[in-house]
Amino acid sequence: MNETVVQGNSGFEINELGEGAFAGQIAALKAFLDFHQQFDRETKALAVARALAQASLERLEKGRPVTKYNSANIADMVGQKVGPDGATGWLSKVWKALEQSLEERRTGIQDVARQAGATIYAWPKKAQGAGGAGNSSEYSIEFLSLPASEAPVVAPLAGEITYVQELTLKPAFWARPLFKKGFPLKGWRRTSFIAFGVVVLLAVGGTLLLTWIALNNPKLSSSTKDVAVWVLFAMMMSWIGYSILKPFSDLADLRLIMAPDVMVGFSELNVQLELARERPADEEPFRVLRLVRYSAKCAVCGETVHLADGKREFPGRLVGRCSEQPREHVYSFDRHTRIGKPLR
Ligand SMILES: [Zn+2]
């Protein structure tokens, strides 16, 4: 493969960091690749990210610092047949998709790196080429420091699994503007969230009142059919109100529930709704509603474990079920330690 060795004034600070830094970067890249191997969907964009990470890893393992690549190098890596002139256009399109996919996976990539004991995580990066217009962009892996996490890193015992959190950004279309980056319960959002609940309650209350008036007014409920229609109407509205409010009351109690189907895009499965606590350094702590997905690698067969409702066997609990052996490979779920113990 042709490598574009870039000598710009952006340079490589990494060069001076020596062996220790290489070990950290290798750990971060391995975590990056592990994450993608376990939880990825096969898309061209993610294949680009994996190839970039793989090429960087191979260099580090040979004792050479990571480098930058141009679009033709990358097309080469993933076996994309484009002419020398087509690569730039092809990759800039793919890169847009990649940025979106990576953002969804950032927490997961960080989790895996943290669990592997790394202090940095790998992140694919696009930089404008030196020399301005006409000089195509360069692509590389950069290493970012892991943000502090409230959750402790607990090493799993034999047979246990460790969950990572993927951030899912595909809510149902109507919820998309609200949940793009989570729904912080502060300011006007908090007010409108509470107002929404009050409106639903008022609507149900109003329906019941209306029904009661109607049933007591001979003009409006003169026949058995009228009575039946009114009663059905009241029951339906109560049921709708209950269905809307129940998840939120569960969430307030439990902090993490399976997301109601209406909130989640069709293509997304195994999604949870989480009421997380944010503690920004310079602000009051607040709660944020978030669509997330906790997953793990099955300790028995290596397939992916997703959270599901415990149903009758594990009432009131979320349990991890292996996607290939959902009846037998079942794990508990601890949101704090991220550890799952086998339940069979
Ligand atoms: Zn399994």
Q: What is the mean predicted confidence (pLDDT) over 150-155? A: 81
| 218 and 281 part of one domain | yes
CA 28 to ligand 1 center in whole angstroms: 26
Between 202 and 40, the more confident residue is: 202
Look at residue 13 in the predicted model and tell me its pLDDT.
43
CA 340 to ligand 1 center in whole angstroms: 13
Which residue among 149, 164, 183 closes a domain?
149
Whether residue 2 is contained in a domain is answered as: no
CA 116 to ligand 1 center in whole angstroms: 21
Which residue among 115, 149, 183 closes a domain?
149
Q: Tell me the pLDDT tens digit for each residue of 275-319.
A: 988 877 777 888 888 888 999 999 999 999 999 999 999 998 999
Look at residue 133 in the predicted model and tell me its pLDDT.
52
Look at residue 9 in the predicted model and tell me its pLDDT.
38
Whether residue 42 is contained in a domain is answered as: yes
Q: How far is CA 268 from CA 156, 264, 272, 292, 293, in A?
A: 28, 7, 11, 11, 10
CA 260 to ligand 1 center in whole angstroms: 26
Q: Does pLDDT of 123 surpass 80?
A: yes
Q: What is the mean predicted confidence (pLDDT) over 222-246? A: 91
Look at residue 19 in the predicted model and tell me its pLDDT.
61
Domain that residue 183 falls in: 173-340
CA 39 to ligand 1 center in whole angstroms: 14
CA 303 to ligand 1 center in whole angstroms: 5
CA 321 to ligand 1 center in whole angstroms: 8
Q: What is the mean predicted confidence (pLDDT) over 87-93? A: 89
CA 261 to ligand 1 center in whole angstroms: 25
Whether residue 188 is contained in a domain is answered as: yes
C-alpha 317 chain-centroid distance: 21
Q: Does pLDDT of 3 surpass 90?
A: no
Whether residue 166 is contained in a domain is answered as: no
CA 170 to ligand 1 center in whole angstroms: 26
Look at residue 168 in the predicted model and tell me its pLDDT.
65
Q: Does pLDDT of 58 surpass 50?
A: yes
Residues 102, 31: Cα–Cα separation, whole Å: 14
CA 112 to ligand 1 center in whole angstroms: 19
CA 297 to ligand 1 center in whole angstroms: 8
Q: Among 48-57, 96-105, 149-158, 244-253, whose mean pLDDT is lowest?
A: 149-158
Residues 64, 323: Cα–Cα separation, whole Å: 39
Q: Which residues contact 139 (CB under 8 A, 6 or more apart)?
A: 52, 68, 69, 70, 71, 73, 74, 91, 95, 124, 125, 126, 127
| 180 and 133 part of one domain | no
pLDDT band at residue 203, thresholds of 50, 70 and 90? very high
Q: Does pLDDT of 150 surpass 60?
A: yes
CA 329 to ligand 1 center in whole angstroms: 5
Average pLDDT, the chain: 86
| 124 and 184 part of one domain | no
Look at residue 130 in the predicted model and tell me its pLDDT.
63
pLDDT band at residue 177, thresholds of 50, 70 and 90? confident
Q: What is the mean predicted confidence (pLDDT) over 234-249? A: 92
pTM of the model: 0.78
Q: Does pLDDT of 213 surpass 50?
A: yes
Between 261 and 340, the more confident residue is: 340
| 181 and 67 part of one domain | no
Overall domain count for the chain: 2
Whether residue 7 is contained in a domain is answered as: no
Residues 163, 318: Cα–Cα separation, whole Å: 13
CA 344 to ligand 1 center in whole angstroms: 12
CA 322 to ligand 1 center in whole angstroms: 5
CA 307 to ligand 1 center in whole angstroms: 13
| 48 and 113 part of one domain | yes
Residue type at 135?
N
Residues 168, 292: Cα–Cα separation, whole Å: 5
> What spatial distance separates the first Cα and last Cα of the chain, rounded to whole Å?
49
CA 331 to ligand 1 center in whole angstroms: 10
Beta bridge partners of 339: 162
CA 166 to ligand 1 center in whole angstroms: 19
CA 326 to ligand 1 center in whole angstroms: 7
Residues 185, 79: Cα–Cα separation, whole Å: 46
Q: Does pLDDT of 6 surpass 80?
A: no
CA 93 to ligand 1 center in whole angstroms: 37
Between 65 and 9, the more confident residue is: 65
Whether residue 296 is contained in a domain is answered as: yes
Whether residue 155 is contained in a domain is answered as: no
CA 315 to ligand 1 center in whole angstroms: 22
Instruction: Give the tokens for residue 257.
Output: 């529930």
Q: Does pLDDT of 40 surpass 90?
A: no
Ligand 1 ion: nearby residues, β-carbon < 5 Å = 298, 300-301, 303, 322, 325, 329
Residues 233, 235: Cα–Cα separation, whole Å: 5
| 188 and 108 part of one domain | no
Q: What is the mean predicted confidence (pLDDT) over 199-211? A: 94
SS3 state at 127: strand
Percent of the residues in the chain that have a pLDDT greater than 90, as a whole number: 50
| 62 and 129 part of one domain | yes
Residues 91, 85: Cα–Cα separation, whole Å: 11
Whether residue 38 is contained in a domain is answered as: yes
| 145 and 177 part of one domain | no
| 217 and 285 part of one domain | yes
| 226 and 133 part of one domain | no
| 104 and 201 part of one domain | no
| 27 and 132 part of one domain | yes
